[in-house]
Amino acid sequence: MNEPHIAARKPAVLELDPGTYWWCRCGKSADQPFCDGSHKGSGFRPEKLELAEQTKVWLCQCKHTGNAPHCDGTHKRLPA
């Protein structure tokens, strides 16, 4: 599997309603930070995020987090 594409070097800070979301793992989705199917054929698969109540989240957009789909600050340590 290839390295994911860095969609952005900052998290997407969102207030999400209860429900199921699919976080883009490949970084190529046009609907960041969510999956739009752009990963097909790449070996990447989206990460499921289920929320039971309205929640403020910081979703990773660099795609290198160790706590997917949540940002862990890894974007600050990636080479330019």
| Tens of pLDDT, residues 33-46 | 999 999 999 999 99
Domain residue spans in the chain? 12-77
Considering only CA atoms, which of 53, 75, 56 is closest in space to residue 64?
A: 75
Q: Is the pLDDT of residue 64 over 70?
A: yes
Determine the pLDDT at residue 80: 82
Coil, strand, or helix at residue 23? strand
Q: Give the whole-angstrom CA distance, residue 32 versus residue 30.
A: 6
Coil, strand, or helix at residue 76? helix
Determine the pLDDT at residue 15: 98
**Token pair for 21:** 């979301």
**Whole-model pTM over 0.85:** yes
Coil, strand, or helix at residue 49? strand
